[in-house]
Chains A and B, each alone.
Chain A
């Protein structure tokens, strides 16, 4: 997609987004609430129209995607609450009839870990199990490209870890994954590349361990001296600590050397973007 733009009245939801996603990769769009993540993805999914820009998903403009195009996509939306009175197996088997070459129903249910819940009504499942049904419905058409919009919002930590394992398996199966999230650890655990979106623009695009590096690659060194904590940012921590040890004569009290995490770099990026737009 190139120079994608979408406005609602005076509000610019997506300002100028250009991205290329490669077959087989897991691509994450990261950004604060209201940054334009969902709008961008919903344009790619064909749900929303765009004001301008060029978009091609599996070689087709989503605004004119027909049934055979849709059959190659799997979409897992935010917060679906439908199908409560239907069982897991009924739902997956029913959605399989929409596709020309669906995956096997029982295999798909097994792949999301719901074999035990196949005969249970969906309304009786836990939040995490319900989301697995959504993923099963996204996978049943054997898609080439799977969209997941904030898939683990509201999960407890263990359910999230299990869900990540599921997504890693799906990716290993060769499906391209496009994920939006506002959890950094999720992007870190799953994505090959991450785009950070703020105020409708891509402000960074890289692998999770490289994103935001170079903006500020200083390392934080903190220690205790004269009864209080000191903190210093430096790009050469080894020599800094050496000098400090010489000054303090030996062991440095309460020494901590901390390299910036994805979270630090992400927050710095968002900060910059917000101060430049306001």
Chain B
């Protein structure tokens, strides 16, 4: 029997071809974030935020890079898996000797590649239009690496679990995209987090995006931007702790909720 690993690599290559050939996923994962970046950045971007040399546009780019984790993992999987459940992909695969782990390897590989591609696009737009500083210290990139890894693991698992929520493949984006959008509003992506009402901050603190955005600000904004945080610091140890907790919670949710066949069939 071919190994799960070998088949999984084939799945990654097949899934990537599907991902980049599909217009809808290209729009959702690349065009939309860049469009948001340009529109929001141009409208609100100019002035420096109180007492710092950070512009709103730079603050926003850091938030959008954090959102990129959600787009390429959670949103991508929670939309594509219901479609695959409906169009026969999952049923066909279950009828072959493909190990189930190879299917998830394919998903993870696609998520990682799509994330890296999106981050390159976002950083380039941030650099060219809004003077986003590319970090030069190794420590910033180490932070970026573990933030990305923890965020992608947690949000990939949550996307696999959430894929049972859309009843049909067709309307999946309508039940998934609003979740991401609301999180962006309350987690310090579209607005300065410390300007939000306390109840909203508390609510956002439950979910991963608030912590991802905070962590990405520590990577891409100068040290002085820490003054913009509610606590006056980026709280990296706490960020790592919350995201790790979400990885565990996501793993449990994915195992408990994920299903191969549509509801009402067995």
Q: A interface vs B, CB < 8 Å? A: 8, 45-49, 67-68, 70-71, 73, 75, 77, 79-83, 85-86, 90, 94-95, 97-100, 121, 137, 141
Q: Which residues of A contact B1 (CB under 8 A)?
A: 67-68, 71, 100
Which of B84, B88, B97 meets A77, CB within 8 Å? B88
Interface presence of B48 (CB below 8 A): no
A8 and chain B: residue at smallest CB distance: B266
Q: Which residues of A contact B235 (CB under 8 A)?
A: none
A79 and chain B: residue at smallest CB distance: B88
Per the bound structure, the CA–CA distance linking A70 and B7 in Å amounts to: 15
Interface presence of B6 (CB below 8 A): yes
Interface presence of B196 (CB below 8 A): no
What are 22 residue pairs bridging A and B, where the CB atoms are less than 8 Å apart in the complex? A47-B261, A49-B266, A67-B1, A67-B97, A68-B1, A75-B95, A77-B92, A80-B87, A80-B92, A81-B87, A82-B88, A82-B92, A83-B18, A85-B21, A86-B18, A97-B2, A97-B7, A98-B7, A98-B97, A98-B98, A100-B97, A141-B96
Interface presence of B89 (CB below 8 A): yes
Per the bound structure, the CA–CA distance linking A197 and B227 in Å amounts to: 75
Instruction: A97-B6, A97-B7 are known; give 8 further A-B pairs, CB within 8 A.
Output: A46-B95, A73-B95, A80-B88, A83-B89, A85-B22, A86-B18, A90-B17, A99-B2
Q: Which residues of A contact B120 (CB under 8 A)?
A: none
Check A70–B14 contact: CB distance below 8 A: no
Per the bound structure, the CA–CA distance linking A68 and B99 in Å amounts to: 11
The distance from the CB of B64 to the nearest CB of chain A, in whole angstroms, is: 27
Contact of A90 with B89 at beta-carbon distance under 8 Å, contacts A73-B95, A98-B7 already known: no
The distance from the CB of A14 to the nearest CB of chain B, in whole angstroms, is: 13
Interface presence of B94 (CB below 8 A): yes
Per the bound structure, the CA–CA distance linking A18 and B266 in Å amounts to: 21
Per the bound structure, the CA–CA distance linking A81 and B90 in Å amounts to: 11
Per the bound structure, the CA–CA distance linking A100 and B89 in Å amounts to: 21
Which of A47, A83, A86, A121 meets B95, CB within 8 Å? A47
A75 and chain B: residue at smallest CB distance: B95
Check A70–B96 contact: CB distance below 8 A: yes
Which of A79, A86, A99 meets B17, CB within 8 Å? A86
Contact of A82 with B87 at beta-carbon distance under 8 Å, contacts A97-B7, A99-B2 already known: yes
Check A137–B92 contact: CB distance below 8 A: yes
| Chain A to chain B: the 9 pairs with minimum beta-carbon distance, closest first | A80-B88, A75-B95, A82-B89, A85-B21, A67-B97, A70-B97, A81-B87, A71-B97, A82-B87
Per the bound structure, the CA–CA distance linking A71 and B87 in Å amounts to: 23
Per the bound structure, the CA–CA distance linking A25 and B98 in Å amounts to: 27
Per the bound structure, the CA–CA distance linking A27 and B213 in Å amounts to: 60
From 7 to 28 in chain B, residues with beta carbon under 8 angstroms from any chain A beta carbon are 7, 10, 14, 17-18, 21-22
Contact of A90 with B14 at beta-carbon distance under 8 Å, contacts A48-B266, A77-B91, A97-B2 already known: yes
The distance from the CB of B12 to the nearest CB of chain A, in whole angstroms, is: 11
B23 and chain A: residue at smallest CB distance: A85
Contact of A98 with B89 at beta-carbon distance under 8 Å, contacts A82-B84, A85-B22 already known: no
Per the bound structure, the CA–CA distance linking A46 and B96 in Å amounts to: 11
Per the bound structure, the CA–CA distance linking A176 and B163 in Å amounts to: 37
Per the bound structure, the CA–CA distance linking A98 and B7 in Å amounts to: 6
Check B95–A67 contact: CB distance below 8 A: no
Q: Which residues of B contact A97 (CB under 8 A)?
A: 2, 6-7, 10
Check B88–A141 contact: CB distance below 8 A: no
Per the bound structure, the CA–CA distance linking A71 and B94 in Å amounts to: 11
A102 and chain B: residue at smallest CB distance: B2
A45 and chain B: residue at smallest CB distance: B95
B19 and chain A: residue at smallest CB distance: A85
Per the bound structure, the CA–CA distance linking A77 and B265 in Å amounts to: 15
Q: Which residues of A contact B17 (CB under 8 A)?
A: 85-86, 90
Per the bound structure, the CA–CA distance linking A81 and B96 in Å amounts to: 17
Q: Which residues of A contact B22 (CB under 8 A)?
A: 85
Check A68–B97 contact: CB distance below 8 A: yes
Q: Which residues of B contact A70 (CB under 8 A)?
A: 95-97
Q: Which residues of A contact B18 (CB under 8 A)?
A: 83, 85-86
The distance from the CB of B130 to the nearest CB of chain A, in whole angstroms, is: 34
Check B14–A94 contact: CB distance below 8 A: yes
Contact of A141 with B91 at beta-carbon distance under 8 Å, contacts A68-B1, A86-B14 already known: no
The distance from the CB of A100 to the nearest CB of chain B, in whole angstroms, is: 5
Check B96–A95 contact: CB distance below 8 A: yes
Q: Which residues of A contact B88 (CB under 8 A)?
A: 77, 79-82
Check B2–A98 contact: CB distance below 8 A: yes
Q: Which residues of B contact A83 (CB under 8 A)?
A: 18, 89
Per the bound structure, the CA–CA distance linking A237 and B89 in Å amounts to: 55
Which of B84, B96, B261 meets A98, CB within 8 Å? B96
Q: Which residues of A contact B10 (CB under 8 A)?
A: 94, 97
Q: Which residues of A contact B95 (CB under 8 A)?
A: 45-47, 70, 73, 75, 77
